[in-house]
Amino acid sequence: MDNAPDPEFELPASLRVLRLLVTVLMVVMIAGIVIIVGLIWSRYSGPAVPMPEVITLPAGTTATAFTRGAGWYAVVTADNRILIFDADSGALTQEIALQTAN
C-alpha cells in the first residue's frame, strides 16, 4: 500500500492557480492579524494618562463622570453641573449648569 502520489502526476493549471491563491490568502490573513495585534499592543502599551491624586468637590456634590483635557479635567455631578478644574493646581476654574429636557 503506497499512498505516495505518482511522480508523473501533475495538477491541472486551474488547480495550481487555486493552490497559489489559497496560499497567498493565508499569508495575507496572517500578516493582517499580526498587524492588528501590533496596532492594539502599541496603542495600549503607551503611558497612561495621569490622573489627579485628589479631587476636592464642593460639599454635598456627587460625581457621576470624569473627563480630562489638556491642562484641565472636568467632573459631571449628580445635580447636573460640570465642574472644570485646573490640572496643575486642582483649583475649580469654571462651573457650568446643565439644563435638562424634562
Tell me the pTM.
0.53
Same domain, 40 and 67: no
Q: What pLDDT is stored for residue 99 in this prediction? A: 85
For 82, half-sphere exposure in the C-beta direction (CA atoms, 13 angstrom radius) is 12
Same domain, 2 and 30: yes
Beta bridge partners of 81: 97
Question: Tell me: the pLDDT tens digits for 61-86?
Answer: 899 999 998 889 999 999 899 999 99
> DSSP 3-state assignment of 22?
helix
Question: Tell me: the pLDDT tens digits for 28-57?
Answer: 999 999 999 999 999 888 777 777 888 888
Burial of 85 by CB count in 10 Å (0-12 exposed, 13-18 middle, 19+ buried)? buried
Tell me how many domains the chain contains.
Answer: 2
Residue 24 pLDDT level (bands cut at 50, 70, 90): very high
Same domain, 58 and 96: yes
Same domain, 75 and 91: yes
Average pLDDT, the chain: 88
Quote the domain boundaries for residue 33.
1-46
Same domain, 55 and 12: no
Same domain, 57 and 84: yes
